[in-house]
A and B are shown apart, each in its own frame.
Chain A
């Protein structure tokens, strides 16, 4: 079985795993990491905070890319798991402890549990039904966050989240917080990247390109999709716990449809399926939202809506992994 798995290349697996083995991309990756790690030393605190936001959002976008780009499951409600992780991490920080790994683990577990509870129904569907269902789930979870005031603070959000502590020392300094977020973000990215280049990842790309054939070859495609859905939810939950640590506040807007669509936009701008692209896309989205949103009097979605329209027309290859028409199992339901 393993021999078959490793020898089953997806018909057009993106080049990133093999490409990375050839020197240059590896050097670029190291340089980018060094620059990112050194950034707080030469950036102003405000810029460091923006960079922290970018890293948080990039990890969230990467978890979505695992679904959208690698597996071909276009989710419009992924912020539900991001927000669930953020609320859980925030709640634990307030009521139990803010000591470093605890909020992270709680965020990851909550994201995974939320994805496990909802995933069993979403992965039964595909294509446009998946879009609709994830959208409906996202909206449902947001309404829960709005109404369950005892745990979430309702529309005002969960306020007064304490700083993350490492060894009893709170990370109040923007640079220290950034390093914490960056370390977790890089770990999360590496995890997703390893999954995407593993035999499991190859099988997921096979499911994206031709699910009936993968099923015919003997892959339990539903189990694979369910597992990746839970994993993506868990990584999104980790990103959510970073969000809670960075913002010190969690609001229903963090798990809204708007947040989901911004993440999807980041994935599409970067080119679905290439995890690096999702990070770049996340940087673009956060920068547009922070710089233009303020000058447009809070009408950032206006610009992002226009960007959506332009990307769809002008960058069709951005969504290369999804354009492949997927064959239908058959006419009869």
Chain B
């Protein structure tokens, strides 16, 4: 039971890192980025390619961060001509990119699942309140919590964050005040993608790296942002922690129906509060 709760936290924080980028990009720019899962998978494969030592792990993190930033910027520019088109067009574009990226990864890394060892020193387990638990997951909870705090502080307490939140609430008004929307979009898209690839590296030791993982994590991230409310950092955190717990508990208690438990949670939230638990005016369904 304790192990399950801890697992829930580890996966919850990982999902938060993944989902917050998706949520902000959608909340701000109305772009549903279906390539987000492919970015995560790219990070996971990078982690697998460099795995085995601390140097390799950190190098994977650094490469993933730079690549995520660049790819996010690229995606932002690619969606720019579609800014006045429907959500479906934007979703189709990012879906096409996701297919190309996922197939490219399979061509490079092969289609066998790769397992990713945790960095040396973290690959053992420790005893927590009488239960043995993998060290890496504990560290992941800590790292995830710190990252969540950093994202929260940046978005809620800094000038840049204020700009981001203002753009979520009313894009046209921010543009009227003389801020170049496109620049804000490129930066947010880039940082969101950076977080996705980083989550991929961090999640490698838990999920491994395999074809199809991109769709799995994309669904989880979408469920998180729908539950938490689009465009809200706190909503993404709350949604991620809830889904982390629901998913691990579901897998423990009803392994055959785990995905239905997830869907039931989603349905419940949508019936009771369609805009998400913490979804505000700026993040309503469009």
Instruction: Give A residues with C-beta under 8 Å from B.
Output: 68, 74, 76, 121, 124-129, 131-133, 135-137, 139-140, 143-144, 147-148, 257, 261, 264-265, 268, 299, 301-302, 304-309, 311-313, 316, 319, 322-323, 325, 328, 331-333
Contacts and interface: CB of A to CB of B under 8 A. Distances in A.
A307 B81 CA distance: 17
Contacts of B284: 328, 331, 333
Interface of B: 26, 30, 32, 81-82, 85-89, 91-93, 95-104, 106-107, 215-216, 218-219, 222-223, 225-226, 255-256, 258-260, 262-263, 266-267, 270-271, 274-275, 279, 281, 284-286
23 contacts: A74-B88, A76-B95, A124-B271, A127-B286, A128-B286, A129-B285, A131-B32, A132-B32, A135-B219, A144-B259, A257-B215, A268-B92, A302-B103, A304-B99, A305-B95, A309-B93, A309-B97, A319-B89, A319-B92, A322-B89, A323-B85, A328-B286, A333-B285
A144 B260 CA distance: 8
B interface SS class: helix
Contacts of A268: 92
Contacts of B99: 261, 301-302, 304-305, 308
Given A129-B226, A132-B226, A313-B81, A143 B259 contact: yes
B270 A133 contact: yes
A332 B103 CA distance: 42
Given A140-B263, A302-B103, A305-B97, 12 more contacts: A74-B86, A76-B91, A121-B271, A129-B270, A133-B266, A147-B255, A301-B99, A308-B99, A316-B89, A322-B88, A323-B89, A333-B284
A312 B270 CA distance: 30
A143 B215 CA distance: 12
Contacts of A76: 91, 95
Contacts of A74: 86-88, 91
A325 B89 CA distance: 12
A316 B85 contact: yes
Nearest to B273: A333
Contacts of B96: 304-309, 312
Contact of B226 (A133, A301, A304, A313): A133
Q: Which of B96, B101, B281 has the most chain A CB atoms inside 10 A of its CB?
A: B96
A319 B91 CA distance: 12
A125 B263 contact: no
Q: Which of B26, B86, B100, B275 has the most chain A CB atoms inside 10 A of its CB?
A: B86
Contacts of A133: 226, 266, 270
A264 B256 contact: no
A312 B82 CA distance: 9
A124 to B, nearest CB: 7
Contacts of B106: 299
A126 B274 CA distance: 11
The 10 residue pairs across chains A and B that have the minimum distance between CB atoms = A308-B96, A305-B99, A305-B100, A302-B103, A143-B259, A309-B96, A74-B88, A128-B87, A140-B259, A312-B93
Contacts of B260: 140, 144
B92 A332 contact: no
Nearest to B282: A331
Nearest to B91: A131
A93 to B, nearest CB: 25
A287 to B, nearest CB: 18
Q: Which of A68, A126, A143, A331 has the most chain B CB atoms inside 10 A of its CB?
A: A143
Contacts of A124: 270-271, 274
A74 B85 CA distance: 14
A11 to B, nearest CB: 16
Nearest to A328: B286
Contacts of B218: 135
A323 B86 contact: yes
Given A305-B97, A308-B93, A308-B96, A332 B281 contact: yes
B97 to A, nearest CB: 6
Contacts of A265: 92
A148 B258 CA distance: 12
A3 B263 CA distance: 42
A57 B26 CA distance: 32
A264 to B, nearest CB: 7
Contacts of B267: 121
B191 to A, nearest CB: 21
A140 B107 contact: no
Contacts of A121: 267, 270-271
B88 A136 contact: no
Contact of B86 (A143, A304, A322): A322
